[in-house]
Structure 1
Amino acid sequence: MSLKPSVSNADHTQGNSGASLVIVEYGDYQCPYCGAAYPVLKELMKEFGGQIRFVFRNFPLSEMHQYARTAALAAEAAALQGKFWEMHDAIYENQEYLNADLPLKLAEKLGLNIPQFKADIHKQELAEKVDSDFESGIISGVNGTPSFFINGNKFNGGAEDLFQLVRENTAY
């Protein structure tokens, strides 16, 4: 299966925007497997961030994880204040405490404008962004989280396997 749509400016990306290696994660903030993948991906970015472009797309499995969508909306609301990755990281780093109140506590800790954050989290366009990420995952063949795509192709390994792949692709 291939990634649809391709990575664009609508996506949250970090690392080298001109990198030839693009890794896309479809993630759920409440998914324990995504939680376990998070430190591995963080390490990957630390080691190879200059050589890869990392993209995160929302794939909240709302039926199993009651706070996944709230967390996704919180990250999108933080993005409107330029702090998407800070909120993304903070949610994963506090995943065991994820509940309805955690996003607001994290927003305060990240120094966000709280009245704006509270208003933004209910904005229709953020709900649409989360939904369009989710739909793009369905179209791309995502059936669980985390799911990874490398340069547009579904990657069947886990976060640990990405290390091997990235090492192979960035060796000179």
Structure 2
Amino acid sequence: MSLKPPVNKNDHLLGDKEASIEIVEYGDYQCPYCRESHSVMVRLMKEFEGHVKFVFRNFPLKEIHRYAAIAALGAESAAIQGKFWQMHDMIYENQERLNEPFLFTLADELQLDKKRFEADLQSAFLDARIDADLESGIRSGVNGTPTFFINGKKFDGDAADVLNLLRAALSPISEI
């Protein structure tokens, strides 16, 4: 399956926007497998700096993860104040503490405008943004988290498999 829609100006992008390798993850902030993937993706982005652009799209599994939707709203609210990736990382790094009041603790740590953050958590615009991510995931064949796409094609594997694939493809062959 292919990524629908392709990466665009509405996406949260990390890394070199001109990189030839594009990785898109559909994730849920309360999913334990997404938390594991997060640490692998942090390592991957350091190891392949300049070669990879990484995009995160929200796919909160509300039926099984009570705080997934509010966490996605928290990250999107932080994005309005220019701190999406910082909030994204902090949520995954503190996943076991995740609840709505804890998002305000993270907002404080990031020195976000609390009134704006709180108002943005209620924003219909941000709800629509998350719904658009969900819809794009469904149209792209996502049925669980995390799900990865590499250069627009669905990847059958987890973050460790993505890392190993890149190591095999981009690491120089040593002479024997």
**TM-score, length basis structure 1:** 0.98
What letter is aligned with 2:39? P
Partner Cα distance (1:121, 1:34) in 2 = 22
Deviation at 1:79, TM superposition (A): 0.2
- Aligned ranges for residues 36-51 of structure 1 at < 5 Å? 36-51=36-51
Match of 2:20 in 1: 20
Runs of 4+ in 1 over 6 A off after TM superposition: none
What letter is aligned with 1:84? F
Match of 2:139 in 1: 139
- Please give the secondary structure, in 1, of the residue aligned with 2:100: coil
Deviation at 1:166, TM superposition (A): 1.3
- Aligned ranges for residues 33-112 of structure 1 at < 5 Å? 33-112=33-112
Deviation at 1:20, TM superposition (A): 0.7
| Per-residue CA distance 1:121-143 (angstroms, 9 max, x = gap) | 11111000000000000000000
- 43-52 or 132-141: bigger deviation: 43-52
What letter is aligned with 2:62? S
| 1:118 is the counterpart of 2:90 | no
Partner Cα distance (2:168, 2:19) in 1 = 15
Deviation at 1:120, TM superposition (A): 1.0
Partner Cα distance (1:74, 1:153) in 2 = 28
- 158-167 or 74-83: bigger deviation: 158-167
Structure 2: gaps spanning 5 or more residues: none
Partner Cα distance (2:49, 2:32) in 1 = 24
What letter is aligned with 1:98? L
Partner Cα distance (2:36, 2:171) in 1 = 26
The CA RMSD measured in Å over matched residues stands at: 0.8
* Aligned residue pairs, count: 172
- Please give the secondary structure, in 1, of the residue aligned with 2:154: strand
Deviation at 1:23, TM superposition (A): 0.2
What letter is aligned with 2:158? G
Deviation at 1:102, TM superposition (A): 1.3
| Aligned sequence identity (%) | 57
Match of 2:160 in 1: 160
